[in-house]
Amino acid sequence: MRDHCLVSETRKETIRAVRTGFAARSTSLVLAMIACVAALSARAAIPPSERAVLVALYSNTAGGNWTNNSGWNAPPGTECAWFGVFCDATQAHVSEIFLSSNNLVGTLPSLSGLSNLTSFTAPSNQLNGGIPKLTGLTNLLSFNVSFNQLTGAMPSLAGLPNFASFRADGNQLTGPIPSLVGMTSLEILSVGSNQLTGAIPSLTGLTNLFTFNVRSNQLTGAIPSLTGMTSLRTFLVGGNQLTGSIPSLSGLPDLAAVDVSFNQLTGAIPALTGLTNLGYFVVSSNHLGGPIPSLAGLANLATFVVSSNQLSGPVPSLADLVNLQTFQIDANQLSGNLPNVPSPNSLQNAESLLCPNALNWTANLAWDAATGVTPWYLGCDLVFRNGFESP
């Protein structure tokens, strides 16, 4: 912009110089340069309300001790050059704040003055207190404050029409997850390892959601329907107090990771047919019954853990599972012959668990290696923790 301004003025002054002489040209060029610089400075000056938020952020979080605080608290007009601050194309408004792992210690100020903010990123610091309200930040697309020491409730996400990503894992948040109704642009909700309570809200209509992580909280109630969530890739709700059954997983072609472990779920494991991208499936430590469903066609499956349930019947064929690394089916009521390991196979040494179960004891060196136990069935005659005893 500055070069363009100077070139334009130089071209004009060249014509004038022919008429008025070098002295007049020099004077006029200096004035033109001053005008251009003034114009650029005016365009670079963000509103006082936005500067006030930045100054409060610096003050509230011990900015003098940040790992990098380059430029912060410099005179008005310099804010777009401060470390971690990004402005829009006109350099007139703050659009992004990025202060990841920067030793911020303290509380976040109100962000309401940043009406053009699209992204706020400050994970892995030492922030405490509550998350400020996001209401009114209609341009906000993403908010990430994971791995801090934040307390209080999750903020409402209502009224943020284009909002796509909320991350606040690894804090001390309490209270319920707010309603997600109408959040049709939401792609990521990740609030694992907090102290959230209440039910998982309805996920109906969230067709763009591909990551949903609420594991290791204190959530209760049923897992909501996943029907229509065609973009879903990662679904992590383990380590809560959820009841009811695992919902149908059909019609979720991109689903790659499922964790519903360490809850109080009942019923059967739903069909896994057609989940060709599934790589991680963990449903251990529930009260699930019935058989293990067919695993045919799950060529990408690497981790399969259904330990400590009440599953019965035979272990299905593993013939298609050429990428399987971890296979844990211990502490159930499974019976019959153990299937052969896939060939070729990727089973990791001592990463699989087969006993206790009521499986037939047949020598198999591949399973000896996979379990790290020789023979693999050593311990299969133990009394099961769920009350079932092998013969």
Q: Please write the tens of the pLDDT for every residue from 251-266.
A: 999 999 999 999 999 9
- Pair of tokens at residue 120: 């706020």
CA 33 and chain centroid, separation? 49
Separation between Cα atoms, residue 333 and residue 359, nearest integer Å: 9
Burial of 52 (0-12, 13-18, 19+ CB in 10 A): middle
Separation between Cα atoms, residue 187 and residue 90, nearest integer Å: 28
CA 195 and chain centroid, separation? 17
17 by DSSP, 3-state: which?
helix
Global pTM value: 0.87
Q: Please write the tens of the pLDDT for every residue from 217-226.
A: 999 999 999 9
Q: Please write the tens of the pLDDT for every residue from 174-187.
A: 999 999 999 999 99
Which residue in the block uniquely carries the two structure tokens 């996943």?
226
Q: Dihedral (C-alpha) 86, 91, 92, 98: value to the nearest 10 degrees? A: 0
380 by DSSP, 3-state: which?
coil
Q: Please write the tens of the pLDDT for every residue from 92-146.
A: 999 999 999 999 999 999 999 999 999 999 999 999 999 999 999 999 999 999 9
